[in-house]
Structure 1
């Protein structure tokens, strides 16, 4: 915390002192406003350059602070008397000016205080901490915040310098990084997430406010115009305020209730083709590159205007240095700056001065521009589209309704400015604002980004450049003394139309009570902390391709984040990688080879992955779980484990086969399959649903009935559901409807019966619950997992080469047809009572198959059972452990040649506990479990037996 405070103080003082290298006269207030942006920008660049050597470590911050302190000390020593006189002179100027214009000063203090509160409230709501997690206070920031946190944490905690893209692992980061790098410096210095976003956002926006004020003042020479320019820009909007009054008229609550719960934004109404969003809520806060982009670009224009006006070469040189530093702060700002400065250079040609601007701008920016151009798919960034977002709407009306009366006042102000400059010696300055029109004309023809709306990043500099003209026209209206009442009335009505929609939106997000939009849960925040503590900084994570994954809080790299971000930042190959990620998460046959291809280190399986149909069992079977929370598991993909087929089969012994379809009538291939005993869900919306609507499900398998009798089944669902027993429809709860239940009773014999449940959801809530009353007595309950078996277990295991055929009988003499058959790889059990037995006592079991012997020798087998058991090899009785008894162990030996030998085990349980184990003696005399690889159902099957 202390380090961050020192960093800010040293930065601001350094920036303040740097302004004294300029030749023109500036007030202390100007130097303060300019110094914040210049100082923080300079320090950020210094730390970044040091980080190219040492990563972002404390030594980089210390060196930057030390260099700045050294500069300040030397500057004071060399220019002590001169600087002291200038500061005193500028302070005296402020005092004199204040005494002459008290009303104006107090008015501006009030306006500055108003905007300071607005800035403070907006940036403080960038992150809202609640007991339930991290929320955003601006809806426009919902998609952007996690991305910026991914960048920031990757610099601070992921040693990501030089930067690779943390949301598209293995690719260079093509986003302008230095605004987020400043926040990373603060994070490294000990500040929390809220403050690393709030502090730079607030300071740089206050700086930009001052720069905009003085830019307008220097052009118009009117304080009122300078003040009005801040309202016109920060609260800009169109005629959307009309819908505010329409919504207000239709509300039934109080005015404050309405204001506290505004139903929509009034500068952004896409269905009505309103796309000019007030900059404070769509650019200053969510688009963090504008934090430096706005003040630096406007400083360049301000210094060039002053340099042309005063003919000072230092202003040109300084503007060139700032321009050269701009691309890594904001690429769009750099491009907009070039589109204005090139025609300015032609109009106000003086090769010596413009050389001082363009030479440092070219030399400093060249490595940055080359970096971006060499790692970006430029074809996505430039394409022709007339009218920006106007579509089929009239082009002129589109711009009028989106910007209100702004164009009319720009034209009026332009005429006034032109006439005023014609009367002065420097009449050529009258063309200066006209150069900004290029930033309106070209973006209306050419798109500069994959998302069409992103052209606002160019349009906004047109708006900024001509805002002084609109403010000048409004000022003349206010100051007109001939028709004072009429002029003032038109002034206030016009000002209202320009800022009303923007003010309403700013009020909604800055002043009105707000619940926010949830980005990360408390569990996800704690998970991120564990990942930071337990994984290396350069780790790559396999995760769902969503915008707000908890891995973005860790500084680690994601194989891929939100596809829209990847696409809009100019990366190629995003679609192919997204398909591969889905294949890996679902455990497709090529999943392991893809994991090896992408060199991913960890996989996260949680809420987001489940919505992408992730197969958690695939990762549990193949990789070590290193972190586990209530909803998330993190698997180490570098710690591959040999799948335990025995435990895998045992784990999937109970439940029904379930198949999910991405349509409502079970068409095509299922999007996800698993075995589950949980036939019960209640999903309120698509965010909760495992598969988005519309979808359908089929559960299929067998139900084990322990006692013959009547069974009542109840099926509750929203929407339709059907229950089939032994291929006969028992419950028809079909149709599109809210939650409704239907029950039916059926007589079932002891044994295994086929069961199928079909379900579909058309939209809205999704509910399904299957319950029963065994023997139609007692309370209704869910069917226990031990009573359910997957569909066609023999078929699902037909490719298994290891195990013994097993048959269950409902008698202890093994009479009649078996009630259940399977291939068993787990030839042991310990069931203390009927509640955990597969079948109620009495019952009998027979295992049959072959055992593979790889060395001719005498083998000793052991049978441990409660009740009786017998072992036969090659039809000869080897162990007789028969009779009703408690747990008892018997052994027997037999000489066996190399090869396969027929094996048969018989067992029965009369009552009480049921225990069975088949063992043999190892070469060292220890009694161990026989490896399942030794067993096969058929004699001609290959074996994977290992040496005993």
Structure 2
């Protein structure tokens, strides 16, 4: 885990240092980018040297499944199933990221239809940061949002790379490939081969449509299926997860090793240095807020479980000895030590949470427009089982989406509780490892099931996947591994068959690629806009791949789908923009109200506003024009932003 720790710290602290230097210097420049990356490299070296990587057996006294242990890494690597999983992961990563965005003649094309809108937004943010705008910047896709409302840490990292003259496409490809390697190894160390398969091939029963059609396809990508392929619809499209998944798994691994698998003699050899845990956890909101929320639930549950244990011991003492016992507890250091000698979980978790309050609050403040973003928490039981295309009767919804996952998890929880009780565990004794992680997994799932945590209910998957990841290692080690080989094979097929078909069917579906942008048009508009102030805002047609957005320029409105998922009420603004672009009689006043400096008139505007009177052509200075269209300066009639 040394290399994983070092790599994640490099990304983490390079980004954080770049952010702080950019805020201090009123924007990024080449010097601040170099300093940030060098600082990240120095911290990465310290993380590598400070990380202790040793394969340990589970503490049998804390786990009813004591016979399930982790073999030394070199022996595990030789296992044929490991290489089978590695080959599948490599095929997914190479196909998804080497063709993430590619040149095809005069066109830029994209491999995944799921990624058309998402990648365009990330390119907007990368180019926006790289243009040197003040940090933390105004929102480039909504004029009335004073600050960017998005955990854009990974995009800021790629912007730093661009200052080292790393090509945009190469930066996206290599970031994706290296994140895939990190994710593969993190899952292997957290959940073994079962964990890797769980990530790659999550699914229910939708993919078994293959038995009728005999054709590979992304059957889980249908409009009626909510539990879609995690690799195709989340890992590739939501760039924050490229960092958040391996970083979150590294923290979970560290806590499992620290609290349950390292014996008394090795307590001084913590898996991760405290400062590494603090950096990864406290800055997580900058990269992926839902992962930060899930990790916080894990920490609170670990703290609460041990606290309940200590309270149980205290109540038992008072019940047995009465006032004398309470007095001995208050004034007797020996008795206090007997009861509270083993509080390593509570002490470590409390220190980590308290130390994270200031930095984590700062990053949350940053990505929520300084707490001005409206709360998206809403009571919404059932996740999306009653929403639009996903709606279905209860049992049909959960069976179609998750197959046998739900009954297996219920069986695991029941078995873990029974084994813990049978082995003699009671409140007041050290926590079993499986109970300690299954409880927060249940809490995360219950929260995601009953409370909507994003404007679009489906986005609760960003939280729900962490309940799924937490369960994976214990579902295998405590339940499935106990069964005979034929039953195990049948369970693997039932759990992962649909996901396997959907994953590789989805990869094949993007074979011809999808048109993303015209290279000549994009380059010409980039050259024209380069001479204009980076803080200026443009009026243009709101579409996800508008050339202005792909060059990192601010517009009045971005793609409505992006605005909706960020929680903006944009209908009135959209109508004003339409009136402006149609050339209504009060277009000057509208331009002033929308804080427009420049008006862009190009291919999309001609198509979508064919009846426009275009009065600006007679009154506003023309600052640039070409085959791609024209840019007009509305400064005489608009307020400079």
Answer whether TM exceeds 0.5 for this pair.
Answer: yes
Deviation by residue 1:823-878 (Cα, 9 ceiling, x = unmatched): xxxxxxxxxxxxxxxxxxxxxxxxxxxxxxxxxxxxxxxxxxxxxxxxxxxxxxxx
Structure 2: distance between partners of 1:208 and 1:543: 39
Deviation by residue 1:528-579 (Cα, 9 ceiling, x = unmatched): 322343322222111012222111121221111112322321345x222211
Q: Is the 8 A contact 2:581 2:614 kept in 1?
A: no
User: Structure with the greater relative contact order (CA < 8 A, sep ≥ 6): 1 or 2?
Assistant: 2
Q: Does 1:461 align with 2:466?
A: yes
Q: Does 1:581 align with 2:577?
A: yes
Counterpart of 1:149 in structure 2 is: 123
Q: Determine helix, strand or coil for the equivalent of 1:267.
A: helix
Where do residues 18-167 of structure 1 align in structure 2 (5 Å cutoff)? Answer: 30-54=1-25, 55-68=27-40, 97=72, 103-104=78-79, 107-167=81-141
CA displacement at 1:331 relative to structure 2: 1.0
Gaps of 5+ in 2: 56-70, 308-342
Q: Is the 8 A contact 2:14 2:38 kept in 1?
A: no
CA displacement at 1:457 relative to structure 2: 0.9
Q: Does 1:430 align with 2:434?
A: yes
* Aligned equivalent of 1:282, options 233, 241, 246: 233
Structure 2: distance between partners of 1:465 and 1:56: 38
Q: Does 1:299 align with 2:250?
A: yes
Structure 1 pair 62/626, CA: closer, same or farther in 2 (3 Å)? same
* Aligned equivalent of 1:354, options 336, 340, 349: 349
Structure 1: distance between partners of 2:296 and 2:45: 35
Q: Determine helix, strand or coil for the equivalent of 2:221.
A: coil
Counterpart of 1:182 in structure 2 is: 157
* Aligned equivalent of 1:514, options 511, 516, 519: 511
Counterpart of 2:330 in structure 1 is: none
CA displacement at 1:72 relative to structure 2: 7.4
Q: Is the 8 A contact 2:540 2:601 kept in 1?
A: yes
Structure 1 pair 287/616, CA: closer, same or farther in 2 (3 Å)? farther
Counterpart of 1:385 in structure 2 is: 380
CA displacement at 1:98 relative to structure 2: 6.9
Structure 2: distance between partners of 1:504 and 1:552: 35
Greater fraction of residues in helix = 2
Counterpart of 2:526 in structure 1 is: 529
Where do residues 736-755 of structure 1 align in structure 2 (5 Å cutoff)? Answer: none
Q: Determine helix, strand or coil for the equivalent of 1:135.
A: strand
Q: Does 1:232 align with 2:216?
A: no
Structure 1: distance between partners of 2:291 and 2:74: 39
Structure 1: distance between partners of 2:489 and 2:433: 30
Structure 1 pair 244/618, CA: closer, same or farther in 2 (3 Å)? farther
Deviation by residue 1:599-633 (Cα, 9 ceiling, x = unmatched): 32221112322343252632322223333333522
Deviation by residue 1:351-370 (Cα, 9 ceiling, x = unmatched): 43222111122122011223
Counterpart of 2:142 in structure 1 is: 168
Q: Determine helix, strand or coil for the equivalent of 1:172.
A: coil
Q: Does 1:632 align with 2:629?
A: yes
Structure 1: distance between partners of 2:302 and 2:410: 20
Counterpart of 1:326 in structure 2 is: 284
Greater fraction of residues in strand = 1
Structure 1 pair 298/366, CA: closer, same or farther in 2 (3 Å)? same
Structure 1 pair 99/156, CA: closer, same or farther in 2 (3 Å)? closer
Q: Does 1:205 align with 2:180?
A: yes
Counterpart of 2:221 in structure 1 is: 268
Residues paired across the two proteins, number? 566
| TM-score normalised per structure 1 | 0.56
Structure 1: distance between partners of 2:77 and 2:163: 44
Structure 1 pair 637/448, CA: closer, same or farther in 2 (3 Å)? same
CA displacement at 1:514 relative to structure 2: 1.1
* Aligned equivalent of 2:362, options 364, 367, 384: 367
Structure 2: distance between partners of 1:321 and 1:75: 11
Deviation by residue 1:379-433 (Cα, 9 ceiling, x = unmatched): 5611122211112633243222211222233334445555666659955323122
Structure 1 pair 99/292, CA: closer, same or farther in 2 (3 Å)? closer
Q: Does 1:605 align with 2:598?
A: no
Where do residues 7-26 of structure 1 align in structure 2 (5 Å cutoff)? Answer: none
Structure 1 pair 474/192, CA: closer, same or farther in 2 (3 Å)? farther
Q: Is the 8 A contact 1:176 1:331 kept in 2?
A: yes
CA displacement at 1:594 relative to structure 2: 1.8
Counterpart of 2:454 in structure 1 is: 449
Structure 1 pair 384/301, CA: closer, same or farther in 2 (3 Å)? same
Structure 1 pair 442/518, CA: closer, same or farther in 2 (3 Å)? same
Q: Does 1:408 align with 2:382?
A: no
Counterpart of 1:765 in structure 2 is: none
Structure 2: distance between partners of 1:99 and 1:294: 24
Q: Determine helix, strand or coil for the equivalent of 1:144.
A: helix
Deviation by residue 1:18-54 (Cα, 9 ceiling, x = unmatched): xxxxxxxxxxxx2223332222212221222212123
Q: Is the 8 A contact 1:322 1:361 kept in 2?
A: no
Structure 1 pair 100/403, CA: closer, same or farther in 2 (3 Å)? closer
Structure 2: distance between partners of 1:393 and 1:114: 33
Structure 2: distance between partners of 1:613 and 1:164: 27
Q: Is the 8 A contact 2:537 2:555 kept in 1?
A: yes
CA displacement at 1:67 relative to structure 2: 3.4
* Aligned equivalent of 1:595, options 591, 597, 605: 591
Structure 1: distance between partners of 2:47 and 2:117: 45
**Worse overlay, 309-318 or 509-518:** 309-318
Structure 2: distance between partners of 1:591 and 1:233: 52
Structure 1 pair 160/490, CA: closer, same or farther in 2 (3 Å)? farther
Structure 1 pair 618/608, CA: closer, same or farther in 2 (3 Å)? same
Q: CA RMSD, aligned part only?
A: 3.0
Gaps of 5+ in 1: 1-29, 91-95, 217-225, 249-257, 481-486, 642-948
Structure 1: distance between partners of 2:613 and 2:82: 61
Where do residues 547-696 of structure 1 align in structure 2 (5 Å cutoff)? Answer: 547-572=544-569, 574-613=570-609, 615=612, 617-638=614-635
CA displacement at 1:510 relative to structure 2: 3.3
Structure 1 pair 100/178, CA: closer, same or farther in 2 (3 Å)? closer
Structure 1 pair 39/591, CA: closer, same or farther in 2 (3 Å)? same
